[in-house]
A and B are shown apart, each in its own frame.
Chain A
Amino acid sequence: MQGPILVFAESAGNEFRKSAFEAVTEARRLADLSKSEVHALSIGHKIRDQASSLGRFGADKVSIADDESLKLYHPDFYRQIALDLVKKIGPSVILLPATSTGKDLGPRLAIHLNTAVATECTELEISENELIATRPAYAGKVLLKVKIKGNPRVATLRPNVFTAKERVPAISPSIESLSFEKPTTKITVKEFVTQGAKKQDLTEAGVIVSGGRGMGGPENYKILEELANVMGGVVGASRASVDAGWRPHSDQVGQTGRTVSPTLYIACGISGAIQHRVGMINSKVIVAINKDPEAPIFGFADYGIVGDVFEVVPALTQEMRKYYGKN
């Protein structure tokens, strides 16, 4: 493996995503092992001020493409900027966060570079000068270790699995501005429409309070919102409650929804079907609240309470308020 490790440091608005810092931290670890450099690429608008923060996590160099037209992800623009940089610096590895942007962009780069992508990696290692990527397949029922027989090796990293760690001492990276000339394109990116005032996406949340069919109706998710608020988390859902129209699809956890890996996942009125399980089994700690002691979820939750969500959840919210000293 020769050449720097290139990281696509994704931003949202004018801040880097947490998963960008995670990817830079992991790139630093790999660069130290392979005695190479970490080169971060940042594409967006008004992010220049933030660029040096990538050095805190271990970037040696940062290249920035900054333009109003780059504010939202545009496949043609982003692809061209990234390919130009790849041609210039000849990386051995390209890491991207496994976000909707990273998973859209990675394969586009790979097919032009005649290489392949290891999707949603949960672990990377270097063995005999080769990158070995661990990635879940069959919805997490198995873990594949794969080698990419192309150059550069492209991998997307599942958010929340790699830990962003600040480096001591921080590096002050050299910062380079990339010139950007809009290529011709058949795509017009019109607008970003936010869904409510959700602070965090499920895939990046540290605490998720999830509700299933046992919540009985859309109005009852209020008690989950309250618990999530107290704990600084967000609300998720099972497919049964999404299909019933109680919650938007973007809240769905599971095989045909989001794959999440929070520190704490609290499943309320969710039975624990295999297709739900595969989306949340990588949570650090799983708590189940269900009135049926035979529910499958108790088979893989770390802690369970057998009881009615309408009694247990409000009591838990109150207890957490006490714990966090909030009223």
Chain B
Amino acid sequence: MCVRRVPDTATRIKIALDGKSIVTSDAEFVINPYEEYALEQGVQLKEKHGGEVTVLTLGPEKSTSVILKALALGADKAIHLKSENFPDDSSAVARAIAAELKSVEFDVLLFGKKGVDDDSQQVGQMVAELLGIPCSTQIVKLDISGGKAIAHREVEGGVIVVETTLPSAFTAEKDLTVPRYASLRELVAARKKPILVKEPQLFPGILEIVSIQYPPPRPPGRVLGKGVEAVPILVKVLHEEAKVI
């Protein structure tokens, strides 16, 4: 199962002076929220079918805190592809993860739907394509039995039910599972679990950032009034001023 270290979603994002990168020094980092659903799914599968949960992270030294959190939440061991300045580029990350996974045996490969930092939503599908295994994206339900997986993909207007052989990859949507909390005891125990640290194979980034900007501010709004009395005013301004009805 692949986890990514990301700034907490409530963190204010600051653009660096070069106008091409993000300052993260004062940000708080957490496990990417979608991976919490994926990790919980992995742990539940282990509880039901046996086996082991391995977490894999590509990232800097500081990713250790995220790995420890995942180990506390039920993973058995970790692989840390440690690199301080690996290109922040989905295809490069996917190639490095796939290269590592070629020598790892697994039945189920779990990802989050997307990293809430780059919002790029690509790594899972790309890794699966590189490994030649099926990948079902945005899943809200997963059942494994008889050497097969049945997954529910959440799409516009409903759910697509997909059956795949194993090994198989999945990217987790919110609500795939209800993530558990780690107890203090588990946090301490996590420190004793094995973490294999290695260097990732390096691949070039393909997306080049030309510039980063803050979105234009919205023009200031106004409160039209209190209670039902403001309702006719609202309809009037929506029609005459905003011209949206």
Contacts and interface: CB of A to CB of B under 8 A. Distances in A.
Contact of B245 (A106, A147, A231): A231
Nearest to A156: B121
A29 interface: no
Contacts of B134: 75-76, 185-187
B91 A116 contact: yes
Nearest to B213: A143
B223 interface: yes
B214 A148 contact: no
A195 B121 contact: no
A53 interface: no
A147 B210 contact: yes
Interface stretch (A43-51, A84-92, A214-222, A281-289): A281-289
A-side binding surface: helix, strand, loop or mixed? mixed
B223 A145 contact: no
Interface in B221-235: 221-228, 230-232, 234-235
A138 B155 contact: no
Interface residues of A, number: 91
A107 B15 contact: no
A210 B16 CA distance: 35
Contacts of A256: 33-34, 116, 174
Contacts of A137: 117-120
B125 A191 contact: no
A263 B238 CA distance: 11
A125 B130 CA distance: 31
A3 interface: no
Nearest to A231: B245
Contacts of B12: 141
A255 B116 contact: yes
Nearest to A317: B231
B120 A145 contact: no
B174 A252 contact: yes
B99 interface: no
A198 B215 contact: no
B173 interface: yes
Given A142-B215, A143-B213, A192 B159 contact: yes
A111 B22 contact: no
A101 interface: yes
Given A255-B9, A301-B221, A303-B237, A189 B160 contact: yes
B238 A118 contact: no
Contacts of B168: 186
Interface of B: 7, 9-10, 12-13, 15, 22, 33-34, 89-91, 94-95, 116-123, 125-126, 129-130, 133-138, 140, 150, 153-165, 168, 173-175, 206-215, 218-219, 221-228, 230-232, 234-235, 237-239, 242, 244-245
